[in-house]
Structure 1
Amino acid sequence: MYPNEESAMKHVIVSTLILITCAAAFGQNCSFNPAPTALNFGNYSVFSSGSPQTATTSFNVQCSSNGVQVTVSFSRGINSASFNPRTMKNAVSATLNYNIYTDAANTTIWGDGSGGTVSQTYTMGPSQSTLPANVPIYATVALGADMAAGAFSDTITATLSWIRGSNPATTTVTFDVTANVLSECTVSAFAMNFGTYEPVVANAATPLDSTSTINVYCTKGTSGNVTLDNGSNFSGGARRMKSAGGVFLTYEVYKDSSRATIWNAVNINSATSTSKNTALGGGFIAYGRIPSAQDVPATSYSDTLQSVVNY
């Protein structure tokens, strides 16, 4: 064997050993397949009550060999200072609390094992390179939050960990958590009781007045316009109450205490909500008046008005 031939053979042997070493260190790979999709709570009403609103998604894991043990953990989210609660934010950084759980009963917070949370570990069967079924992720958001309307979101990082060869390995994906807080208003029923009208004595020259308060509650930041219809017995430009015998008693409802501006579909009351728990404008007062000296029989009179909130 010539010296050059020996040198060439040594180079070949060394190169082969390097290739074998690299292949042994590569080991198995794992990934989310499918990765978790967005947790979407959908539309959220600040006026709903009861059990928390829920959302679910799921994932599975695919490995390049069988029987691998994997661990899945979740971050707090990009908007959260802690795991409990996690928070979604809107465009102006208002927050809506939620959380992610391992169980449908929503008792165990899924995190990374810190802060009272747990991560989840799964072992694939000796003939399996995936988990036997997709793993559900459960999420809840409590009802009754006093939030402004709009889109809220958070982003979670999901980390998949396993042992590759003798070394720890990880891969990550992200998924969004979303909710849409609705712009809504509700209006309370109201009654205006004039009491006793005496057209011959007390109200011969003096009208009979009364008031009532219309309370409208809206999602924080929502502006509402409140109108009144003309009632069930409107005629000749006047609202009227009616007796069981078909006799009419004229009255009117105004938006001001001086009773100068009739409250109707044109002359409205409006305000912007500061909280779902506070009536717009602190409550709109309806100022009622029965003109004096109406020659009507003694009996009960009534009418029905409808208030409409536009927002």
Structure 2
Amino acid sequence: MRVLKLFGLLCVFTLASLFATERAQASCTATITSLNFGVINPVTPTTVDVNATINYTCSSLITLLSYIKVCIEIGRGPQDTDVNSRVLTHTTISSEKLTYNVYSNPALTTVFGNVYGSASPPVIIHHGPYAIGLLATARGSQTVHGRIPVTNPFMLRSVGQYNSTLPVTVRMAIVSVIGQSPCTVTGTPANISFPIAASLISACKINAQPLNFGSQPSNFSVNVMSTSTIASTCTKGTPYQIGLNNGLYAVGNQRRMKAGDGQFINYELYKDSARSQRWGAALNTAETLAGVATGATQNASVYGKVVPQTGLRAANYKDTITVTITY
């Protein structure tokens, strides 16, 4: 009778020790690399695809021929409405955002999320079956595919750094069959932060329309006027200056058009309709046209004038002006 009691106590003690060991050893650890979309030039934007890697280790006591099922979940960021609508937010202007997302497959068709059985599920990976029971360890990695699409209105977003942080959870379960059901918690999951970043730089593009003074009699006696338009587009918030050089045939600051026979006709270009502010190229002076970009196309008028001149022969007179935008 005493022997039976002792044996019963020994069994209870041994089983309790095994369960305590399982609880202590069943856990996951994980690391993840950052996802950096790099520098985006809004003048020549493209869809940017980059990858990150999750490395994980999960250990637990298991039974013979069991599997360790690893579930990797990525949640929504602090500014996201859900995992299907992820955004990067400007570091100092919270209203400025860029859309992006992360995917679990190379084709970038399945959003990497945390809702089981949805269109944006976690990734489930099975390790095993293990031929021996006791302590088993599952190690692996999972690629996270990121994309920031070209459809973002980059020009209308402020220059600077855009960031987000996604919560990542790696959890495990011990199962006897392979399946896509959620991981019932075994041990301690790994909870890590996933940093995402992109940088939007200042950039500009510019286009100038021809300025044509038309056909005039060789002995014209009044000023001949004409206008043209320079269209510039720069990243929102970018300070810029637009300058015009003196052309190909200037003498000093006097602009001239040249005919095929080598004859010249003087003309000038101005920033204002009164034609009193000569448009030149000296930066940080009144010669250039300065502004701050809105992100949309901004048009500036160029006002041309030819004053009456004597001794002109009938011909086509031309010049080429270089327009420079500095930002």
| TM-score interval, smaller chain | 0.7 to 0.9
Counterpart of 1:95, as a letter, is K
Indicate the residue corresponding to 1:4 in structure 2: none
Indicate the residue corresponding to 1:110 in structure 2: 112
CA–CA distance in structure 2, aligned partners of residues 292 and 113 of structure 1: 78
Counterpart of 1:137, as a letter, is V
Indicate the residue corresponding to 1:307 in structure 2: 323
Indicate the residue corresponding to 1:163 in structure 2: 173
Counterpart of 2:288, as a letter, is I
Given that 2:85 and 2:101 are in contact with CA atoms closer than 8 Å, whether structure 1 keeps it comes out as yes
Q: Secondary structure at the match of 1:64?
A: strand
Q: Secondary structure at the match of 1:215?
A: strand
Structure-2 change in CA distance of 1:82 and 1:167 (3 Å): closer
Counterpart of 1:30, as a letter, is C
Higher mean displacement: 153-162 or 104-113: 104-113
Counterpart of 2:292, as a letter, is T
CA–CA distance in structure 2, aligned partners of residues 55 and 221 of structure 1: 28
Query: Do structure 1's residue 244 and structure 2's residue 260 form an aligned pair?
Result: yes
Structure-2 change in CA distance of 1:178 and 1:277 (3 Å): same
Query: Do structure 1's residue 138 and structure 2's residue 145 form an aligned pair?
Result: yes
Residue 45 of structure 1, aligned match among 18, 41, 46: 41
Residue 290 of structure 2, aligned match among 265, 270, 285: 270
Indicate the residue corresponding to 2:211 in structure 1: 192
Given that 2:208 and 2:229 are in contact with CA atoms closer than 8 Å, whether structure 1 keeps it comes out as no
Q: Secondary structure at the match of 1:68?
A: strand
CA drift of 1:20 comes to 4.7
Structure-2 change in CA distance of 1:167 and 1:220 (3 Å): closer
CA–CA distance in structure 2, aligned partners of residues 252 and 135 of structure 1: 65
TM-score for both structures, normalised by structure 1:
0.85
Q: Secondary structure at the match of 1:60?
A: strand
What does 1:1-311 correspond to in 2, within 5 Å? 19-32=17-30, 35-49=31-45, 52-64=47-59, 67-90=67-90, 91-93=92-94, 94-113=96-115, 116-126=119-129, 129-131=137-139, 134-143=141-150, 144-145=152-153, 146-163=156-173, 167-169=185-187, 170-200=189-219, 203-204=220-221, 206-266=222-282, 267-274=287-294, 276-279=295-298, 283-311=299-327
CA–CA distance in structure 1, aligned partners of residues 262 and 37 of structure 2: 53
CA–CA distance in structure 1, aligned partners of residues 45 and 20 of structure 2: 60
Given that 1:46 and 1:147 are in contact with CA atoms closer than 8 Å, whether structure 2 keeps it comes out as no
* Cα distance per residue 1:206-261 (max 9 Å; x no partner): 11111001111111111211111111111143011112222211111011111111
Counterpart of 1:37, as a letter, is T
Counterpart of 1:168, as a letter, is T
Percent same amino acid among aligned pairs? 27
CA drift of 1:290 comes to 1.1
CA drift of 1:272 comes to 1.4
Higher mean displacement: 62-71 or 224-233: 62-71
Q: Which runs of 5+ in 2 are unaligned?
A: 1-8, 131-135, 176-183
| Pairs aligned (count) | 291
CA–CA distance in structure 2, aligned partners of residues 40 and 167 of structure 1: 32
CA–CA distance in structure 1, aligned partners of residues 276 and 19 of structure 2: 95
Higher strand share: 2
CA drift of 1:307 comes to 1.1
TM-score for both structures, normalised by structure 2:
0.81
Counterpart of 2:57, as a letter, is Q
* Cα distance per residue 1:69-128 (max 9 Å; x no partner): 100010111221222220111111111111111122221111101674111100123468
Given that 1:249 and 1:294 are in contact with CA atoms closer than 8 Å, whether structure 2 keeps it comes out as no
Given that 2:249 and 2:255 are in contact with CA atoms closer than 8 Å, whether structure 1 keeps it comes out as yes
